[in-house]
A and B are shown apart, each in its own frame.
Chain A
């Protein structure tokens, strides 16, 4: 762990010099501050309250390459399955952290859907990036600082006001195993103007069994009445881990939904922080986790209600098999000023494996007196009498279990607004539960 930290610190200068990048921009300054912050704090350990149930030891004692050596190329036919290829979309694709123009489909017509490194080189975009970049991230989170320090590449999406982006945007990060062990620090920035609407699908996918650690940061700025539907699909291989930090700032009357589907990966940590900067805001955070073996998933959410008449809805479902472990930590802060807040949080879990476990921790800090806030948490097992009922109708046990588990997660699936993605997720769930069922509910 210490070794990796040293290596990262030593690599920073090389990174800054190597890139021939934006040394005159504010971003350069921010990076320098960030590496100092990281140096001071180091990696989080279980002694940190926010990391009490997730240990990074198993993934940090690795000699990761920080810079990919060569541009690996991949054939579209080999990776087609990871795209939502059935529908028209914009695509921003990276291979081992490097932009792939071949697999991408970007635009500057009507909206800017492109990559951060290129945008940083153009004065027009540099001004916008300087205005937003790293303004809502947590300065206490050393992994976010680490990402900021090494941030150079990722998606840059800038939707001007009154624009409905007709096609969903896919942001996909492939890793090819060109390095045996690799750490990636992708950085995404999304700005959605007034009255604008965008749908985004994000996926990190390793293409073989090499060891991957992705430390990703995403900032979303939703202006007045903007609508953002964000979907994260985490179904990676068993040597791939991800620490995924999402920061959202919402202006009045905006609606932001972040949906996280976690079906695979060695260690997955999702941090989602949502900050309200106006009234009548709606924030929706939904998630389904289905994991087994020794996989670990940690969903950490924070919603900070700062203004009146806003609402937030959180619905997280988890299915844990074998020795899988899960964490749900949902924090809701309602500031004194945020009267008439409606904040609802629900976390339901099914433990299938005898050695599976979940640590669930709802955390409500309410300083206003005229609010409706609720939280609920359930941890259960499959109902044997319901299983018998399904079996007595001729449905074999495995399928009966799958049907019940699918039904358990269905209300999250129902929230997906891209039909092709809904079909995809349904298929992934059936695959995950090892059954061939249509699940047309």
Chain B
């Protein structure tokens, strides 16, 4: 599904990713771990198409087609979704209206009519229940005044609504208490099918107790320095990152 080939990327002449190779197949869950500053968030931003970063070398292929030339919204239309580490607050735009606009933009790109309001509401109801969300959040301005946990839950709610092919969860566990973590993880697991894939980017092993990965990759200094199964996460938890340097 996703193939990353010798990816070099950076910001303002500073190279952050220094040759990443990664292949993700449908149905798989990959965890990317690593210390602060190793390039984890850069990797997710580059896959999602953040124009702040410049790709210097290599390629990213989705279903065997390069996506490097695509704008973030076009990548979203192709099924890429990124849950932000720090979701942006947008005063004046309600969560409901935002998600409606997003879904209909995607449908428009696919040549479909707007989703009828009735179906939209039905879908919003189902997905918000899945995330055990208080419905009042949906009519509030997007993320404005939300707690860290509420923001993250809102991210997964958006993911549930958009039904992506590839979901990247960037430090979704940061700022979450254990109850919120379970709800979010549970939501992700319920959305998992044999046709979609998830990249979990995390600093700690904690989240991986709930979203169990098929593969764990350790990122250090812009390169994947070790890959393995889920047991690698436990090993990192015990030993830290230093032994891999």
Residue B27 at the A interface, CB < 8 A?
Answer: no
Task: Give the one of A389, A408, A440, A441 with max B CB within 10 A.
Answer: A389
Residue A391 at the B interface, CB < 8 A?
Answer: yes
- Name the residue of chain B whose CB is nearest to the CB of A386: B88
Q: For the complex, give the distance between the alpha carbons of A404 and B71 in Å.
A: 18
- Name the residue of chain A whose CB is nearest to the CB of B72: A391
Contacts of B188 in A (CB 8 A): none
Contact B97 A441 (CB under 8 A): yes
Q: What 0/1 pattern do residues 103 to 117 of B give for CB contact below 8 A with A?
A: 101100100000000
Residues 366-415 of A contacting B (Cβ, < 8 Å) = 383-386, 388-397, 399-400, 403-404, 406-408, 410-411
Please judge, given known A-B contacts A399-B101, A403-B101, whether A394 and B90 are in contact too, CB under 8 Å.
Answer: no
Q: For the complex, give the distance between the alpha carbons of A400 and B93 in Å.
A: 11
State which of B71, B88, B93, B158 has its C-beta within 8 Å of the C-beta of A441: B93
Contacts of B87 in A (CB 8 A): 389
Residue B66 at the A interface, CB < 8 A?
Answer: no
Contacts of B93 in A (CB 8 A): 403-404, 406-407, 441
Contact B106 A394 (CB under 8 A): yes
- Name the residue of chain B whose CB is nearest to the CB of A413: B92
Shortest CB distance A428–B (Å): 17
- What's the count of A-B pairs with C-beta under 8 Å? 84
Residue B50 at the A interface, CB < 8 A?
Answer: yes
Contacts of B103 in A (CB 8 A): 394
Please judge, given known A-B contacts A392-B82, A407-B92, whether A384 and B52 are in contact too, CB under 8 Å.
Answer: yes
Q: For the complex, give the distance between the alpha carbons of A391 and B98 in Å.
A: 11
Please judge, given known A-B contacts A384-B52, A399-B101, A399-B105, whether A392 and B90 are in contact too, CB under 8 Å.
Answer: no
Residue B162 at the A interface, CB < 8 A?
Answer: yes
Shortest CB distance B59–A (Å): 20
- Name the residue of chain A whose CB is nearest to the CB of B96: A440
Contacts of A76 in B (CB 8 A): none
Residue A128 at the B interface, CB < 8 A?
Answer: no
Q: For the complex, give the distance between the alpha carbons of A390 and B142 in Å.
A: 11
Q: For the complex, give the distance between the alpha carbons of A215 and B106 in Å.
A: 48
Contacts of B109 in A (CB 8 A): 394
Q: What 0/1 pattern do residues 134 to 174 of B give for CB contact below 8 A with A?
A: 00000001000000000000000010001000000000000
Contact A441 B94 (CB under 8 A): yes
Residue B48 at the A interface, CB < 8 A?
Answer: yes
Residues 30-88 of B contacting A (Cβ, < 8 Å) = 48-52, 71-73, 75-77, 81-82, 84, 87-88
Contact B97 A397 (CB under 8 A): no
Q: For the complex, give the distance between the alpha carbons of A408 and B141 in Å.
A: 12
Residue A87 at the B interface, CB < 8 A?
Answer: no
Contact B101 A388 (CB under 8 A): no
Contacts of A407 in B (CB 8 A): 90-93, 141
Contacts of B92 in A (CB 8 A): 406-408, 410-411, 441
Please judge, given known A-B contacts A393-B162, A394-B106, A437-B101, whether A388 and B72 are in contact too, CB under 8 Å.
Answer: yes
Shortest CB distance A399–B (Å): 7
Q: For the complex, give the distance between the alpha carbons of A146 and B212 in Å.
A: 79
Residue B1 at the A interface, CB < 8 A?
Answer: no
State which of A392, A403, A440 has its C-beta within 8 Å of the C-beta of B76: A392
Shortest CB distance B50–A (Å): 5
Residue B102 at the A interface, CB < 8 A?
Answer: yes
Using a Cβ–Cβ cut-off of 8 Å, how many residues does chain A contribute to the interface with B?
Answer: 27
Contact A395 B73 (CB under 8 A): yes
Q: For the complex, give the distance between the alpha carbons of A261 and B162 in Å.
A: 36
Q: What 0/1 pattern do residues 200 to 215 of B give for CB contact below 8 A with A?
A: 0000000000000000
State which of B50, B102, B141 has its C-beta within 8 Å of the C-beta of A394: B102
Contact A395 B71 (CB under 8 A): no
Contact B82 A440 (CB under 8 A): no
Q: For the complex, give the distance between the alpha carbons of A427 and B153 in Å.
A: 33
Contact A393 B90 (CB under 8 A): no
Shortest CB distance B163–A (Å): 11
Contact B91 A397 (CB under 8 A): no
Shortest CB distance B20–A (Å): 20
Q: For the complex, give the distance between the alpha carbons of A385 and B72 in Å.
A: 12
Contacts of B141 in A (CB 8 A): 407
Contact B94 A395 (CB under 8 A): no
Please judge, given known A-B contacts A386-B90, A407-B91, A410-B92, whether A392 and B105 are in contact too, CB under 8 Å.
Answer: no
Q: What 0/1 pattern do residues 428 to 441 of A give for CB contact below 8 A with B?
A: 00000000010111
Please judge, given known A-B contacts A395-B105, A441-B94, whether A389 and B88 are in contact too, CB under 8 Å.
Answer: yes
Shortest CB distance B165–A (Å): 13
Contacts of B73 in A (CB 8 A): 391-397, 400
Q: For the complex, give the distance between the alpha carbons of A411 and B141 in Å.
A: 12
Contacts of A384 in B (CB 8 A): 52
Contacts of B158 in A (CB 8 A): 393
Q: For the complex, give the distance between the alpha carbons of A397 and B51 in Å.
A: 12
State which of A385, A392, A393, A410 has its C-beta within 8 Å of the C-beta of B98: A393
Contact A394 B82 (CB under 8 A): no
Contact B97 A396 (CB under 8 A): no
- Name the residue of chain A whose CB is nearest to the CB of B89: A386
- Name the residue of chain B whose CB is nearest to the CB of A385: B88
- Name the residue of chain A whose CB is nearest to the CB of B79: A394
5 CB-based A-B contacts, threshold 8 Å = A388-B72, A392-B48, A393-B76, A399-B101, A440-B97
- Extra contacts, 10 of them, besides A399-B101, A399-B105 (Cβ < 8 A), are A383-B88, A386-B88, A389-B87, A392-B73, A393-B99, A393-B162, A396-B105, A404-B90, A408-B92, A437-B101
Residues of B at under 8 Å CB distance from A? Answer: 48-52, 71-73, 75-77, 81-82, 84, 87-88, 90-94, 97-99, 101-103, 105-106, 109, 141, 158, 162
Q: What are the 5 A-B residue pairs with the smallest beta carbon separation, nearest first?
A: A407-B92, A394-B76, A391-B72, A410-B92, A393-B102
